[in-house]
Copies of this chain bind each other. A is one copy, B any other.
């Protein structure tokens, strides 16, 4: 039983990615063998080396599979022509938290990224990719907030950079903690409150505004 058709081959590839998610989540990235992944899929290492260049290539493919659709959603919030950027942003933020809180696949992949994978000196490709996402995310938030200011939804002297930094840190921090210790609180139930608190800061906190000197400069 070799040489499947194109669709069967694609299914095999997905199987391998599913296995990678499962095994990386259970054993951690560095600690899992490609044989582990292959066995879990009922295949051999030969299949992995056919579909992917190596272990890191497999990892990147696994990340991309869940990362791309989320990025598309986030990008929609940052659209200049969006007439309710703040509302859209708020809605997206709650949805994303809820998604992570309920979808097993998202939980596994995010958990792997945050707690079951380590950055080491020689594999800069993955770290670089993460940094690009990091910067893009920060930029997207800033564009969204800028549009919200333009449309009078947020104060004009809002410190955009800080607001973006706080949003990114605050949200990922809470998700990070929950993924590390899911029993510690109910993420799904807290989703709205978490988001509301951030937007409360945006509109009300004097510490989120540009200082006089910064505003002048």
Which chain B residues lie closer than 8 Å to A30 at the CB level?
Answer: 30-31, 118, 120
Query: Which of A64-72, A84-92, A202-210 is found at the contact surface with chain B?
Result: A202-210
Interface bits A1-43 vs B (CB < 8 Å: 1, else 0): 0000000000000000000000000111111000000000000
A interface, over-half SS: helix
Nearest B residue to A116 via CB reads: B118
CB neighbors of B among A96-140 (8 A) = 115-122, 130-131, 134-135, 138
B207 and A122 contact, CB distance less than 8 A: no
The distance in angstroms between the C-alpha atoms of A190 and B163, with both chains bound, is 11
Contact, CB under 8 Å: A172 / B165? no
Max chain B Cβ within 10 angstroms of own Cβ: one of A119, A138, A171, A176: A119
A residues neighboring B (CB under 8 Å): 26-31, 115-122, 130-131, 134-135, 138, 161-162, 165-166, 168-177, 180-181, 184-185, 190, 193-194, 196-197, 200-201, 204-208
Closest 10 CB pairs of A and B: A173-B173, A28-B120, A169-B174, A30-B30, A31-B120, A169-B173, A196-B207, A28-B118, A170-B170, A118-B118
